[in-house]
Amino acid sequence: MKVIMMMAITADGKIAKDSAQFADWTSTEDKKLFAKTSRECGAVLMGENTFKTFPSPLKERLNVVFSENENNPETDGVKWVSGEPEKVLQELSELGYEKVILGGGSFLNSLFLKKGLINEIMLTVEPKIFGTGLSLFNQDLDANLKLINTEKINENSVLLHYEIIT
C-alpha cells in the first residue's frame, strides 16, 4: 500500500499554531489539490486532534481516525482505529485501498515516518509565518528525500513532491 503524506506548511515549516487550529489559512488551490488527491486515493488517515478541527467528516472518502478513545461516535464515512499503523494499513488494503493520504498531525506523521510507512510526501508551502506552533513531525527523525516535482500552484504557493528514499 502506498502512503502519501500530504500537508500544507507555512514558510517556517508549521502545520498549525496549535492542535485545535483548522487549516483555514491555506490557499484555495491547496484545498482543491488536497480534495482531488484524497478523493483519488479514497481514504485519509489522521489523528483524532486533526479530525476534531474539521466541521464534519471529509466527504467522498473514508476518514480513518486514529484514537485511543473507546467511546467514539459511530459516524458515516468515519472509521475509528487504534493500535499499530501496519495493521490498519493491512486492513485498508484488504478493503481494496491501494493508496491512502496521511493527513496529520505531527504525532501520526512521526509515527508513520519512524516505522518507514510513508512512500511520498506532498507539501504545499504557503506564504505565511507562524513563528511558533506545530511542526510536520514532533520527534527526532532522519529520512532522505528525492524531489519528484515542484509546481507553483498559485502566485505565492508552491507544491513540493518528494519520494522517501532508503
- Is the distance from CB of 147 to CB of 161 less than 8 angstroms? yes
Cell of 139: 520527534
Cα 108 to Cα 111: distance, rounded to the nearest angstrom: 5
Higher pLDDT: 23 or 135? It is 135
What's residue 161's pLDDT? 98
- Strand blocks (E) in the chain: 2-10, 14-16, 43-47, 62-66, 78-81, 99-102, 120-126, 134-135, 144-152, 158-165
CATH fold of the domain at 25-67+77-165: Dihydrofolate Reductase, subunit A (3.40.430)
Prior bond to 105 cis, omega within 30?
Answer: yes
What are 122-162's pLDDT values in tens digits? 999 999 999 999 999 999 999 999 999 999 999 999 999 99
What's residue 166's pLDDT? 74
What are 65-121's pLDDT values in tens digits? 999 988 888 999 999 999 999 999 999 999 999 999 999 899 999 999 999 999 999
- Is the distance from CB of 66 to CB of 91 less than 8 angstroms? no
Q: Tell me, rounded to whole angstroms, the distance of Cα 50 from its chain centroid.
A: 9
Residues near 36 by beta carbon (within 8 Å), at least 6 away in sequence: none
pTM for the complete prediction? 0.95
What are 6-19's pLDDT values in tens digits? 999 999 999 999 98
What are 31-61's pLDDT values in tens digits? 999 999 999 999 999 999 999 988 899 999 9
